Chains A and B, each alone.
Chain A
Amino acid sequence: GQSLEQPSEVTAVEGAIVQINCTYQTSGFYGLSWYQQHDGGAPTFLSYNALDGLEETGRFSSFLSRSDSYGYLLLQELQMKDSASYFCAVGPPGDDKIIFGKGTRLHILP
């Protein structure tokens, strides 16, 4: 079967850095994605790692280690607008769909 584990909640301070971890167990692997969802809104795509290493997009970075079945999303210079839920997702090879984790709720304190 397939499963992803991520913390249910994380709290950080405005201006700080926070890391949201994701570990997965799948029968194969096709890449790790991250999505952001604000309360009452739709999930929006943030990043995709097909290979090991760090991908950077502005204040957000995503890391993948396929040998460790592990990835993380790193948010720098936190802003209040970053308060949202963050979902990791993996796509097993040979499958048309991706599987989402249950999400991490990020709380940002002023």
Chain B
Amino acid sequence: DAGITQSPRYKITETGRQVTLMCHQTWSHSYMFWYRQDLGHGLRLIYYSAAADITDKGEVPDGYVVSRSKTENFPLTLESATRSQTSVYFCASSESTGQGSGGYTFGSGTRLTVV
């Protein structure tokens, strides 16, 4: 089915473990983004990508790694999970820069708990 999918929907991991959150989109959108959402902070950008093999840091990149070897996939890796990384993570994609052409389309999110 067309769209943007994230996996897993829920994840519990232990402090210090490496965790990878997956994001896949079927529209061939150039732009992809990773946000985390925490109470009181709204949506904060972690990393984004303007095209395959092009990634850049957002507002809160520390402790995270991304890659984009293919246009449709944009995985987010927590190298050594910490409790402060407990959050809801959203992946988004966009056809163009900024907000035109229908804005960002978000995946359903991954709720990550680090214990």
Contacts and interface: CB of A to CB of B under 8 A. Distances in A.
Given A33-B99, A102-B41, A97 B109 contact: no
A89 interface: yes
A31 B43 contact: no
Given A97-B45, A100-B42, A102-B42, A43 B90 contact: yes
Contacts of A30: 98-99
A42 B88 CA distance: 10
A98 B42 contact: no
B109 A101 contact: no
A87 B43 contact: yes
Contacts, number: 63
Contacts of A70: none
Contact of B90 (A42, A48, A98, A103): A42
Contact of A31 (B31, B56, B99, B102): B99
Interface majority SS on A: helix, strand, loop or mixed? loop
A66 to B, nearest CB: 14
A96 interface: yes
Interface string B80-114: 00000000001010000111101111111100000
Interface in B30-66: 31, 33, 35, 40-45, 48, 50, 56, 58
Given A100-B35, A100-B42, 14 more contacts: A30-B99, A33-B103, A35-B103, A42-B90, A43-B43, A45-B102, A48-B99, A48-B103, A50-B99, A91-B97, A96-B48, A97-B48, A99-B45, A102-B42
Interface of A: 30-33, 35, 41-45, 48, 50, 87, 89, 91, 95-103
26 contacts: A30-B99, A31-B99, A31-B100, A35-B103, A41-B108, A42-B109, A43-B92, A43-B106, A45-B104, A45-B105, A48-B99, A48-B103, A50-B99, A87-B42, A91-B97, A95-B97, A96-B48, A97-B45, A97-B48, A97-B58, A98-B99, A99-B45, A100-B42, A100-B44, A101-B42, A102-B42
